[in-house]
Amino acid sequence: MRFKKQHAMGILLAVLLILFGASVFSGPQEKKCETCPPVDLSREACTVILVGKDASVDGSVMTTHTCDCGLCDWTFRYIPAADHKPEDKRKIYHIDQFGTIPPSTGLKWDRVQDNFAGLEIPEVPHTYGYIHGAFGYMNDLQVSIGESTIGCQKKMENQTPTPKFDITMLTLLAMERAKTAREAIKIMGELGEKYGYGFTDTGEMLAVADPKEVWLFEIMPVGPLWTPQSGKPGAVWCAQRVPDDHVSVCPNESRIGEIDLNNKDYFMASPNVISFAVEQKLFDAKSGKPFNWKRAYSPNEVSAAGTNGNRVRLWRFFSIVAPSKNFSPETPNMDLPFSVKADKKYSVYDIMQMTRDKCEGTIFDPARGLQGGPFANPNFLPYGFKLEGKQYNTSRIISVNRAEYVTVTQARSWLPNPIGGIVWLAFGAQDTSCFMPFYAGITEIPRSFEIGDHWEFSRESARWAFDYVDFHTQVVYSLGIQDVREAQKEWEKSAVDRTSQIDKYASALYQEDPAQARQYLTEYCINNANLVINAWWELGNQMLVKYNHLWIYDAKTRKRNALPFPDWYLKALVEYNKLKPQEEKK
C-alpha cells in the first residue's frame, strides 16, 4: 500500500510539474518535377551528432538522428524484453528504411512479417526491451543508436535478396542482444559478414553509444556477386571510437579515415577491411600510402564553399563546436577531422538546439535575401533548382523541413539503466517540433506514436499535431516561428529542467521497487507526451486564427493588423513590377 500511495503522489508531482513547470513496402512516391534536380534521398537523409561523456556538461554520452526522409514511415514502437527457449529461432526480415504502406492495408511494423528474408538464426536466451522507429534507438541497458546513410562505391552495392540483413534489421538485433556499444558493433558486423548486408541499403553509418563511450560504425555491401557459399565476408565494416572529450558528426558522408587496427581501444573492423579494397582495386597496397577507409570505399571530394552550401553540414558543425580552430568552408570535407575537442561542453538542451541549426548568420543561410522571401523562410528550395538547363545548388542545412522525427539519446552512467537512458523524441521538422522524454525504463509508448501516414491526415496521430503547427508557420515564418519558440520554451525547456527531479524521485522508488519505478516513468512520459501533443494542436489553432487571410488577428484586442513586409522586399516589388507611387495631393 505504501508503494501505491508513493507512486500516486509521484505521478501527481510529475503532472503538476508538466502543467505548471512548463521497396519491400511500396507506397506513393513524390511526383516528378521537370524543373527539380535529381535527388538522391539516401545522400540527403540524416544528420548524426556524437558527444563523448567528457564533452557533455553532466557526463552524458549523446547521439542524435535527424530522420530527414520526407516520405518515410514515422511510427514508433516499444518492444518489451523477453526470455526464449533453447530451440527458439529469430526470423529475419527485409525492412526498407524508406518504405511505407497505406494505413488502410496495415501498419508497417505489423506487416514486417510479410517480408521474411528466408533466414532464421538461433535466438538468444534473453532479449532486451527497446524503443524503435525506422531504427532501434535505445535498449534497456542504455545502448543507443543514431543513423546516417553514407553510400559506397557503385560496384560494392548489392541490391539482390542474397544478403539477408539491411541496416534497420541490424539495429533491431543490436537492441535485442547488446549490453554495450562495442558488443552492438560486434553483433552487427558479424551478422553482416556471415549472412550478407545490403539489398535495400548501401553504405550506412551508425552512432553506437552506451553510458561510457560512443563509436562511429560504418558498414557497406561487398558487391552483387557475393554468396554465402563463397566463404568470404558478406559485408565490410569499420568502427572508430570518439574520444571521451570530443564531439563528432556524420552528415551523410563517410567519416572514418586512416585506421590503426593495433589500437583496439579505438578501432574495430571486419577481417576484409583492407583486403577487399585491394581486391576491388580501391586501394594500392604497394603505394606506400596508409589505408584510408573513406577514400577507398566512399570518397566525397567536395567542400561547403565549392558546392554553394550543398555539402555545408560538416563544416557548419565544426564551426559551431570549435570556432577557435577557424575551419574554412573551402576546406575539402575529406580533410576535416574525424572529431574535435569542442570549445565548450554541451548539455542535452544545447544538442537539441544544434539539430535546429540553419546556418544563421553565414553566407549559407537559406533565409537570406530573396530566397527566404519577405518573411525569411529558410525552408524554400531545399534541393536547389534547375533553370534554363543549368543546375543551382542551395544550402543543405542541418535543420531541413522534411524530418520525420528527430531523436537525441542520452546515456548516463551514474543512474540505474531504466532511469539513466533517455530518448528525447521530436516529431516532424526540427524547428517547429518539441522534444519529449522517453526513459529507457518505460514499458509502453502512446498509441498516437504508432500510427500515421504522410498522405492521410489524422488527429489520432501525434505527428500530425506538429505538422499542423509547421504548416501555419511556413506562411509567415519570421513571425510564426516566434510563437513556436515560446511554446518550445514552455514545454520542451521545462521538461529538460525537470529531469533531475524526475530522476531523483524515480531513483528513490527504484531502490524499493524497480517495477514501480518503471511504471512511474512510463506514466510520466506518456502524460507529458499527451500534454505536449494537445498543446501543439491548440498552438496550430491559435496560429490559424492569428495569421488568417495573411493578416494579424489579435485575440486580446480583437483588432486586425496588416502584416509588416520588410522594406527590401517592397523596394524589389516596386522595381520588378514597375510600380509608381501615388501622386501627392496638393
Q: 536 or 35: which carries more pLDDT confidence?
A: 536
Residues of the chain with pLDDT > 90, as a percent, come to 89
φ and ψ at 362, to 5 degrees?
Answer: -115, 175
Residue 502 lies in a domain: no
**Closest C-alpha among 377, 376, 394 to residue 385:** 394
Kindly indicate the confidence band of residue 166, based on its pLDDT and cuts at 50, 70 and 90: very high
Do the beta carbons of residue 202 and residue 220 sit within 8 Å? yes
pLDDT of 308 over the 60 cut: yes
Boundaries of domain holding 399: 23-414
Q: 387-418 pLDDT, tens per residue?
A: 999 999 999 999 999 999 999 999 999 999 99
Kindly indicate the confidence band of residue 168, based on its pLDDT and cuts at 50, 70 and 90: very high
| Number of domains the chain contains | 1
pLDDT at 35: 39
> Which residue is it, cell 537492441?
175
pLDDT of 134 over the 80 cut: yes
Kindly indicate the confidence band of residue 586, based on its pLDDT and cuts at 50, 70 and 90: confident
**Closest C-alpha among 367, 424, 374, 373 to residue 397:** 367
Do the beta carbons of residue 185 and residue 268 sit within 8 Å? yes
Half-sphere exposure of 387 (CA within 13 A, CB side): 5
> Which residue is it, cell 534507438?
137
CA distance 206 to 214: 10
pLDDT at 31: 43
Q: Span 462-489, mean pLDDT?
A: 98
pLDDT of 358 over the 50 cut: yes
Residue 356 lies in a domain: yes
Q: 168 or 39: which carries more pLDDT confidence?
A: 168
Quick one: cell of 30? 513524390
Average pLDDT value for the chain: 92
Kindly indicate the confidence band of residue 101, based on its pLDDT and cuts at 50, 70 and 90: confident
Q: 289-299 pLDDT, tens per residue?
A: 999 999 999 99
Residue 507 lies in a domain: no
Residue 514 lies in a domain: no
The amino acid at 253? E
Do the beta carbons of residue 438 and residue 445 sit within 8 Å? yes
pLDDT of 160 over the 90 cut: yes
Residue 152 vs residues 66, 134, 155, 170, 223: alpha-carbon distances, Å: 21, 21, 8, 18, 10
Residue 490 lies in a domain: no
Q: Span 245-249, mean pLDDT?
A: 98
CA distance 567 to 552: 19
Residue 572 lies in a domain: no
Residue 338 lies in a domain: yes
pLDDT at 403: 96
CA distance 252 to 58: 28
Coil, helix or strand at residue 462: helix
Residue 153 lies in a domain: yes
299-306's contacts with Cβ under 8 Å and 24+ in sequence apart are 299/254, 299/334, 300/253, 300/254, 300/333, 300/334, 301/332, 301/334, 302/332, 302/333, 303/329, 303/330, 303/331, 303/332, 303/333, 304/329, 304/330, 304/331, 304/333, 304/364, 305/329, 305/330, 306/330, 306/332
Q: Which residues fall within 8 angstroms of residue 67, CB to CB, at 6 or more apart? A: 45, 46, 74, 133, 134, 147, 403, 404, 405, 406, 407
Residue 417 vs residues 3, 271, 432: alpha-carbon distances, Å: 21, 33, 31
Q: How many residues does the chain have?
A: 586
pLDDT at 42: 46
Of 26-40, 252-266, 431-445, which gets the smallest average pLDDT?
Answer: 26-40
Q: 5-64 pLDDT, tens per residue?
A: 455 445 444 544 444 444 333 333 334 444 333 445 445 679 999 999 999 999 999 999
Residue 74 host element (H or E): none
pLDDT at 41: 45
Give the ranges where 268-382 is alpha helix by DSSP (H): 275-279, 293-297, 313-321, 348-354
**Closest C-alpha among 183, 188, 186 to residue 165:** 188
Q: 493 or 102: which carries more pLDDT confidence?
A: 493
Coil, helix or strand at residue 323: helix
Name the maximum alpha-carbon separation found in the chain. Answer: 98
